[in-house]
Amino acid sequence: MAEDFSAGWQLTESDPGVFSELLKRLGVPLVVDDLYSLDAESLAEHQPVRAFIFLFQWVQTHPDSMTGEYDRDFPGFFAHQVVNNACATLAVLNAIGNMPALEMGPQLKEMMEFSAGMDPQTTGMVITSSDWLREAHNALSPPSAISLDDPSMKKTAEEAYHFVVYMPHMGSIYELDGLNEHPIRHGSYDESGEGWTAKAREIIQQRIATYPPGQLQFNLLAVHDDPIPILQKQLSEAQAASNAVLAGQIAARLERENHKRQQWAFENSLRRHNHIGFIHALLTALAKAGKLDEAKENAKKALAERRAKRGDSMDED
């Protein structure tokens, strides 16, 4: 279980652009996309899918409710989460650490080689004590000049979110959760048809079914090969074969992928930017114009309406 401190690690947004940029900084040629469905048609565009990263609202569960079984002799890479806020990067590392022959940047490769053979707790300490990795993790987090957390206020379970990984390894589906003592083995899967993703779909749907009906605070991400180099090669081959129809289809998809990367880059630049000066100037201008109280009440009303639609409660200051 992670200690109650962050050791300089900041919260990470569950966003494909954030995870894809992190993978890029780690020198790994994979990208991440949002999934709104686990059906075969939705997954087809991202094949081959290497892993799923699942974000969920963390709640304490009884051991008897766990599906699968702990694999105390897990032969792959597995690290514990030893500090708060590091679960996103830890999920990424627990995933890519079990992908054979995966290309990695020199720093990541050196860390993986150094931690080989270590127990999960020590491996977690190696990861979270790595300055360069923490900087890569924090690079896309909002500036922390102002903390929105009151240290005197105890966080509730409803405020705790966590990332875990589901992926195939040595013929079985594994759940890699840095808060667990060992990886959870969910059994073998049929390699024909949809392959491992069909079994993973059942496991994730069972996990979601343990929450109250209508609970929507989940997010699922697919980790897969970067399609742009593949599409560029396919486009060249279609053009060389004078197949204008196929070339047009590939070019359209390539354009969508490039547009998506541009959008990610723009959104990530906003995440890195410190908006505190702008916010201060805006609040000052509203106060001087005598409109600050009105703006505050309108914002509180809008927030209450959004939370009412979700069925949340809101404590007012």
Q: Single out the catalytic residue among 87, 137, 169, 186.
A: 87
Model pLDDT, residue 4:
43
Three-state DSSP at 172 gives strand
pLDDT on residue 7: 62
Q: Which CATH architecture has domain 16-225?
A: 3-Layer(aba) Sandwich (3.40)
pLDDT at 317 over 70: no
pLDDT at residue 210 is higher than 90: no
Give the residues across from 174 on adjacent strands: 167, 185
Asked if 87 is an active-site residue, the reply is: yes
> What is the model's pLDDT at position 149?
45
Q: Which of 80, 137, 162, 169 is catalytic?
A: 162
In this predicted model, what pLDDT tens digit does every residue of 134-156 receive, in sequence order? 999 988 776 654 444 444 444 44
Q: How far apart are CA 311 and CA 215, in angstroms?
A: 10
Q: Is-catalytic flag, 162? A: yes
**260 vs 281: which has the higher pLDDT:** 260
Q: What are phi and psi of 234, to 5 degrees?
A: -65, -35
Length of the chain, please?
317
User: What 3-state class would DSSP assign to 30?
Assistant: strand
Report the C-alpha gap between 123 and 80 in whole angstroms.
7
Identity of the residue numbered 110: E
- Report pLDDT for 270: 78
Residues of the chain with CATH 3.40.532.10: 16-225
CB 191: neighbour CB atoms within 10 A? Answer: 10
Reported as a pLDDT band with limits 50, 70 and 90, residue 161 is confident
Q: What global pTM score does this model have?
A: 0.79
